[in-house]
Amino acid sequence: MLVVAVAASAAVVSEDALRCTSCGGVPEPFAGWPFSGLFEAAFVPLAQFDAHHYMSIARNGYGDDNLGSLGPAFFPLYPLLVRLGSGLAASPGAVLVAAYAVSLTAFFMALALLRRLTALELDDVVAGRAVVLMALFPTAFFFGAPYTESLFLLLAVGAFFAARTEHWAAAGLLAAAASATRVPGIALAVPLAVLYLYGPRLSSEPAEEGDRRWYSPRYPVRADILWLLAIPVGLVAYGIHLEVVRGDALAWLGAQSGHPNRDLTFPLQTLWEGLRAGVSGGRRIATGSRVADGALNVINLTFLALAIAATVGVFRRLPAAYGAYVVAMLVPPLASPNSGAPLLSMPRFLAVLFPVVVWLALVCDRPGRFRAVLGVSVVLLVTLTARFATGHFVA
């Protein structure tokens, strides 16, 4: 409700009239609907940038000529659910409403599972704080927009919870669905393998320590580990579909690696370039030169600093699988930085790294500290939502 209210208000106050830039090229998705103005105010402002591709795919599939060469970079599970949720409707308005329904439903379920998972690892108090911090994370508006963040978060948390409670079939299938949602979904193989081999587990006892080396598995390998081989199935199925409709099973890889502003780079080099860009951005702000670009790099660097601190904290205070997940998810964006802004979209990437939020909930063990962190988060959420809703790139 907060995000929708801020987005609608910002769009109305903005000099730019309400317009849908992300409904498959349809400028007025609710034309002819009763109360169309209210629908536009509620649903159009957050339908920006990448939402255009997801809405086009939901309506017309990957054969849509409007997608261009970057279309296959947008994975199919989310637009498929949107299409099903719209009743296979061709109406851009129905598809857009269905997109919000899928995103918000997935987010609600993700928060419920996050609470149960955090309570399992820690306690109910920390779990409650984690849910609030996740719901009001600075880039939480992506969870309610026509984007894949909420669905991916649900599948990642669900896979962890299933593995943590030793439901390996569910863990493998949920991770497979994640690999059909975003390409980093394949990285779930790393933390799930760590959970399988080293735990902790809900009921099974680890093997006797004996002369076991530190790197040796704490739990015996059984046939149920084969469920983890299902993780790439979502990606493979997508490749088969692309082969059928486009004649190129690896079109998704070409779309991502062929992005004109991204190059394959060693992650440590990206960290250094991101630091330089952040410092340069601070100077621009101080001198009043290209303030918007400078602020974007400063924000990206700030979120990177949070990610680094959180990674260390997660490894120290949570099971190793949670830290492995954070590292596995951070490597892809750091290995393919944007040439103009090395840490571009870091705040968005960080939003789905739920162990970071759990660590924050642990750190905020005093009421004053929790209120301070929450206050800063809400201010950033409102600010970034308003900018995003008025067509400014945030992450």
Q: Which of 330, 348, 360 is nearest to 140 (CA)?
A: 348
Pull the structure tokens for residue 258: 């062929």
Question: In degrees to the nearest 10, what's the CA dihedral of 268, 270, 275, 279?
Answer: 160
Taking the C-alpha atoms of residue 248 and residue 62, their distance in angstroms, rounded to an integer, is 12
Residue 8 is assigned to a structural domain of this protein: yes
Residue 297 is assigned to a structural domain of this protein: yes
Q: Is 13 exposed, middle or buried (0-12, 13-18, 19+ CB in 10 A)?
A: exposed
Residue with tokens 């830039």: 21
Residue 237 CA, chain-centre distance (Å), reads 21
Q: Judge whether 219 and 204 are in contact, CB under 8 Å.
A: yes
Q: Judge whether 114 and 137 are in contact, CB under 8 Å.
A: no
pTM for the predicted model, two decimal places? 0.93
Q: Which domain holds residue 321?
A: 2-208+215-389
Residue 394 is assigned to a structural domain of this protein: no
Residue 395 is assigned to a structural domain of this protein: no
Q: What is the pLDDT of residue 266?
A: 82
pLDDT digits (tens, 9 = 90+) for 240-290: 999 998 888 988 887 776 555 666 788 888 888 888 888 888 887 777 776
Taking the C-alpha atoms of residue 301 and residue 296, their distance in angstroms, rounded to an integer, is 9
DSSP 8-state class, residue 338: B
Q: What is the pLDDT of residue 25?
A: 47
Q: What is the pLDDT of residue 210?
A: 58
Instruction: Report how far apart, in Å, the C-alpha atoms of 69 and of each of 53, 72, 140, 261, 389 are.
Output: 11, 7, 29, 14, 26
Taking the C-alpha atoms of residue 326 and residue 332, their distance in angstroms, rounded to an integer, is 11
DSSP class per residue in 60-97: HGGG-GGG-TTGGGS-SHHHHHHHHHTTS---HHHHHH
Residue 204 is assigned to a structural domain of this protein: yes
Using DSSP, state whether 262 is helix, strand or coil: strand
In single-letter form, the type of residue at position 362 comes to L
Summary count for the chain: helices (H), strands (E): 17, 0
- Counting the structural domains of the chain, the total is 1
pLDDT profile of the chain (395 residues), mean per 10: 91 62 60 85 88 89 71 93 88 92 97 98 96 97 96 98 97 98 95 94 72 77 95 96 89 71 77 84 77 78 92 96 96 81 87 96 94 96 93 85
Q: What is the pLDDT of residue 261?
A: 60
Residue 143 is assigned to a structural domain of this protein: yes
Pull the structure tokens for residue 91: 């109406």
Taking the C-alpha atoms of residue 195 and residue 228, their distance in angstroms, rounded to an integer, is 11
At a CB cut-off of 8 Å and minimum separation 6, what does 388 contact? Answer: 7, 46, 48, 141, 394
Taking the C-alpha atoms of residue 129 and residue 11, their distance in angstroms, rounded to an integer, is 31
Question: In degrees to the nearest 10, what's the CA dihedral of 50, 143, 352, 267?
Answer: 30
Residue 280 is assigned to a structural domain of this protein: yes
Residue 73 is assigned to a structural domain of this protein: yes
Other residues' Cβ atoms within 10 Å of the Cβ of residue 322? 24
DSSP 8-state class, residue 22: S
Taking the C-alpha atoms of residue 218 and residue 367, their distance in angstroms, rounded to an integer, is 38
